Amino acid sequence: MIDVQNPLLSKLSAFATLTNSERASLGRFDRPRRCFEIGTDLMREGEKNSTAYILLDGWVLSYKLLRSGERQIVDFQVPGDFLGLRSLLLRTADHSIEPVTPIIAVEIGMTDLLRIFRESPRLAAAMLWALSTDGAVVVERLVSLGRRDAIERVAHFFLELGARLKVVGLATGDGYACPLSQYHLADALGLSAVHINRVLRQLREEELMTFRAGKVTFDNFDKLVQIAQFDTAYMDHGGAARE
């Protein structure tokens, strides 16, 4: 019943050492699994009583559409992340979600949430922590759009994704596989695709990082951290829920 492959387990374990019964409590989320292909929205802005998911495999993006037809990508989600948990709690989806790659996800409803909270207040705190990390990511994106120049934005973005992927074992200090296009980066970072292309070339020529053929390679991690003023503190893990 317990699926050690579940990346949510890896993620929440970074916050608190989970007991066997807590792992079992989470393990019961492990069905039904659903697969979504590219082109099928998981959730549409404005939808009532949407379902939330835990992402097991693949990447998705969350976005909001404006009347003008422009879209703002709010964030990308990677394995172990909640999808649409905020929309579930708010009863109306405040954003849309679409797969970047084919994905596998597990449904999670309000009843499941309340059951988990009943079974373990520590799991509730761990889930609050996971939501807090999601919140911190959006705050960093806000600072990027408001105050960081193009090169700082792009560097910060790739470092942060790396830190998030590392928690679930999908990145090392050297880099990670990344299925995003330059158009995705443009819509997330408020830059044009042409501008993104120029910044990526600059990062490569200065031997800081390379993003090519679906792979991010950190050529000079420390200098990149310095340029981006990247602070891993908001990705901090280490047992805040240990009583």
- 96: closest CA among 65, 69, 59, 68? 65
Q: Is residue 28 a contact point for a second copy (CB under 8 A)?
A: no
Name, in order, each residue with C-beta under 8 angstroms of 154's C-beta and a sequence gap of 6 or more: 185, 189, 191, 196, 199, 200, 203
Q: Which stretch binds a second copy (CB under 8 A): 6-14, 116-124, 192-200, 209-217?
A: 116-124
Could you say which of 22, 81, 98, 134 contacts a second copy (CB under 8 A)? 134
Cα four-point dihedral sign 146, 152, 153, 158 = negative
19 touches a second copy (CB under 8 A): no
Of the ranges 100-108, 145-153, 177-185, 214-222, which one interacts with a second copy (CB under 8 A)? 145-153
Which of the stretches 36-44, 127-135, 154-162, 212-220 binds a second copy when contact is defined by CB under 8 A? Answer: 127-135
Residues 60-79 that bind a second copy (CB under 8 A): 64, 66-68, 70-72, 74
- What DSSP state is assigned to residue 51? P
Asked if 165 contacts 221 with a C-beta cutoff of 8 angstroms, the reply is no
Task: Give per-residue burial for 165-200: e unless 16+ CB within 10 Å, then b.
Answer: bbbbebbeeebbebebebebbbbbbebeeebbeebb
* Residues lying near a second copy in the complex (CB under 8 A): 46, 64, 66-68, 70-72, 74, 85-86, 88-92, 94-95, 110-111, 113-115, 117-118, 121-122, 124-125, 127-129, 131-136, 138-139, 141-143, 145-148, 190, 229, 231, 233-234, 236, 238, 240-241, 243
